[in-house]
Amino acid sequence: MQNIPAKIVDDKYYYIDLIYSELAKVVVGQKKLIDSLLIGLLTEGHILIEGVPGLAKTLAVKSLASIISSKFSRIQFTPDLLPADIIGTMIFNQQQAEFSIKLGPIFANFILADEINRAPAKVQSALLEAMQEKQVTIADKTFQLPDPFFVLATQNPLEQEGTYPLSEAQTDRFMLKTIITYPNREEERKILRQNNEGAPTLSKILDNDILKTMQNKVKAIYLDEKIENYILDIVQATRTPQEFSLEKLQNLIEIGASPRATISIAKAAKAMAFLNKRDYVLPKDIQTIAADAMRHRIGLTFEAEAEQIKVDDIINEILTKIATP
């Protein structure tokens, strides 16, 4: 941990700049990905990242874990993976003639579930149950997961063969679903040069106490009643669009966003305000994170799919129609 003067530490926003600058040493661009990771970290939520291979998903979460005094585990999901490979299992000790429990890789602060859609449903469920309950039961014993406990799951949208797509009920457990894209030309030039020079070493700049303090600061961010109503209108419009003069969406939405969407938008908006060094939430915070909080919680009809209408198109239409406070 760096020796930071006390008067600087008292600045509650100091660590935001420090985190961004440290991660920028190894992660080029991908601000949306970094923001999503920090939102999940600050709100104790889990993040689902979708993007083609090679977009620094693994690098970003490993780098974030490395600047915090915490334990990191990477679990590569494959079709032959078993729940015991994640949560742990009973092992027979021949010398002592008794069973002992070996804890799995899920017992860490940062979990990277790489290509989560490559493992069968029973393995996905084991991870998602742990995410929800923050505990694991092996045989007749229950073990609490470490605090903080943060899961970043990735999935590749290109390959369909040999994959097991997450159901709507399972993806609903993730606070945000963030879609990341290719870097621009200059960012890719920087990536090229950086890899030729070798990756720099990152410094540990946070510990669990500092992280808890930051999480408490996020919880204290002011959310005005008008902003609350704005969130409610956006979510309600996915369920009853006709009540918000969005009749054309009525035949396109089969399943509206769940109450978890409302909670996730509010929490993520507070974190976004904190990352922008504000003590209050603005409508633009809601607009920034609304798609990430709802795209995996809205089900489209066959009519929408036939017309090649995407969930993000629906969300953008709602954000355009709902009056901004």
**CATH classification at residue 201:** 3.40.50.300
pLDDT band at residue 162, thresholds of 50, 70 and 90? low
Task: Indicate if 200 and 288 belong to the same structural domain.
Answer: no
Distances (CA, A) of 312 to 44, 103, 293, 299: 25, 40, 11, 11
pLDDT of residue 192: 81
**Which pLDDT value is given to residue 11?**
60
Backbone angles phi, psi at 48, to 5 degrees: -110, 120
- pLDDT tens-digit profile of 37-64? 999 999 989 999 988 777 777 788 888 8
Nearest to 28 by CA among 65, 46, 54, 49: 54
Is residue 313 over pLDDT 90?
yes
Other Cβ atoms closer than 10 A to 193: 10
293 within some domain: yes
Segments forming the whole domain that contains residue 126: 6-209
Which domain-ending residue is among 209, 231, 246?
A: 209
- Sorted by sequence, the CB contacts under 8 Å of residue 46 that are 6+ apart come out as 40, 131, 150, 151, 152, 153, 173, 174, 175
Q: For the chain, what is the radius of gyration of the CA atoms?
A: 21
Is 215 a domain residue?
Answer: no
Identify the pLDDT of residue 158.
Answer: 65
Helix axes 283-294, 311-321, angle to 10 degrees: 160
Q: In whole angstroms, give the CA distance from residue 257 to residue 104.
A: 33
Q: pLDDT category, 8, cuts 50, 70, 90? A: very low
Asked whether the beta carbons of 204 and 27 are under 8 A apart, the reply is: no
Which amino acid type is present at position 273? A
Residue 248 lies in a domain: yes
- In DSSP terms, 177 is beta-bridged to 48
Instruction: Look at residues 160, 177, 209 and tell me which one is the last residue of a structural domain.
Output: 209
pLDDT score at 161: 59
For 99, phi and psi rounded to 5 degrees? -90, 145
Calculate what percentage of the chain has a pLDDT beyond 90.
Answer: 32
Mean pLDDT of 73-80: 88
Crossing angle for the helix pair 14-23 and 31-43, to the nearest 10 degrees:
130
Structure tokens belonging to residue 75: 């679990």
Cis peptide bond prior to 148, omega within 30° of 0? yes
Are residues 143 and 237 both part of a single domain? no
Q: Which tokens sit at 279?
A: 């003590």
Q: What tokens appear for 208 in the block?
A: 């669990």
Average pLDDT, the chain: 85
> pTM for this one?
0.86
What's the pLDDT score for residue 128? 79
- Looking at the structure, do residues 132 and 231 belong to the same domain, yes or no? no
Element (H, E) at 113: strand 110-114
Q: How, if at all, do strands 135-138 and 88-93 pair?
A: unpaired
Domain end point (choices 149, 184, 209) = 209
Residues in a beta bridge with 72: 110
Residues 215 and 29: beta-carbon distance below 8 Å: no
Which DSSP string corresponds to 19-59?
Answer: HHHHHTTT--S-HHHHHHHHHHHHHT--EEEE--TTSSHHH
Q: What is the C-alpha separation between 252 and 310, in angstroms, rounded?
A: 10
Q: What CATH number is associated with residue 288?
A: 1.10.8.80
Q: Which pair of tokens denotes residue 303?
A: 């009519």
pLDDT of 61-75, one tens digit each? 888 888 887 788 888
Please check whether residues 133 and 253 belong to one and the same domain.
Answer: no
With a cut of 70, say whether residue 113 has pLDDT above it: yes
Residue 110 confidence (pLDDT) above 90: no
Whether residue 239 sits in one domain with residue 193: no
- % of the chain exceeding 70 in pLDDT: 94
In a domain, 253, yes or no: yes
The dihedral formed by the CA atoms of 102, 108, 114 and 115, expressed in degrees to the nearest 10: 70
The reply to whether 267 and 192 lie within a common domain is no
Are 178 and 70 in a shared domain?
A: yes
Once rounded to an integer, what is the mean pLDDT over residues 156-175?
75
Q: How far is 123 from 121, CA to CA, in rounded Å?
A: 5
Specify if 131 maps to a domain: yes
For residue 17, the Cα-to-chain-centroid distance in whole angstroms is 20
Q: In the chain, how many domains are there?
A: 2
